[in-house]
Structure formats: C-alpha cells, structure tokens
C-alpha cells in the first residue's frame, strides 16, 4: 500500500517535503532544492511554509522541512519525471477542471 503524502495541519491539507521525496523516490535535499528553485517568491510564500524538525539521529541538530499546498505540490511535481509525476499531472488537470465548473 502506498504511503500517504498529505496530512492535515492547522485545518489545511498539506504535503510535507520529506513525504513527497519518499513518494517520488528522491532524496529530501533534492526536493528542497527543487522548491528553492521555484519562482516567483510571492507564489512560494503563499504555497510553501518552511519549518525545522529535530534530526532523527543527531542530537541538537535540526532538519529543514517544507509544508506545501495543493498548488505548491502540483507545481513542484510538474518538474519531476516518471510515471508518478505523470499521474499527478493527470489528477491535477482532472481536479482543476472540476474546480472551474463550480466557479460562477
């Protein structure tokens, strides 16, 4: 069974960078670098929230982690390749079509 890559945090559904990395089979630092390369800064500030968690094995050290909205996750995933990235693109296109039909 596939591991969930979204969680509810402060009443919002977010994807966590380390879970996104695991889902796509990438290293966490690669995903963080991809997030850092996204532009413009205003979009990033609205869709990505950085925080630090304790390192799992090194006491006193923290690890950078990023929470992202659905839009942030979609934009990030568009930069990846492979079957899982294609599935995300298809799902995103399908869902955005539904969202538009609900808008007056």
CA–CA separation, 77 and 25 (whole Å):
12
pLDDT digits (tens, 9 = 90+) for 21-51: 998 888 999 999 998 888 667 777 788 999 9
The alpha-carbon radius of gyration of the chain (Å, integer) is 15
Q: Which among 25, 8, 5 is positioned nearest to 16, based on CA atoms? A: 5
Q: What is the pLDDT of residue 91?
A: 65
Ramachandran region, residue 64 (left: φ > 0; alpha: ψ -120 to 50; beta: rest): beta
17: pLDDT strictly greater than 90: yes
What integer best gives the mean pLDDT of the chain?
Answer: 78
Please check whether residue 13 is in contact with residue 70, taking contact to mean a CB–CB distance below 8 angstroms: yes
Euclidean distance between CA atoms 89 and 56, whole angstroms: 32
Contacts of 13 by beta carbon, 8 Å cutoff, 6+ apart: 6, 7, 70
């Amino acid at each position: 069974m596939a591991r969930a890559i979204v969680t509810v945090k402060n009443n919002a559904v977010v994807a966590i960078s380390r879970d996104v990395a695991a889902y796509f089979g990438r290293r966490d630092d690669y995903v963080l670098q991809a997030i850092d390369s996204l532009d413009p800064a205003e979009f990033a500030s609205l869709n990505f929230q950085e925080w630090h968690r304790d390192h799992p094995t090194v006491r006193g050290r923290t690890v950078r982690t990023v929470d992202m909205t659905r839009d942030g996750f979609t934009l990030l995933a568009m930069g990846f390749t492979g079957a899982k990235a294609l599935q995300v693109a298809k799902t995103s296109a399908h869902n955005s079509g539904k969202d538009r039909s609900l808008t007056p």
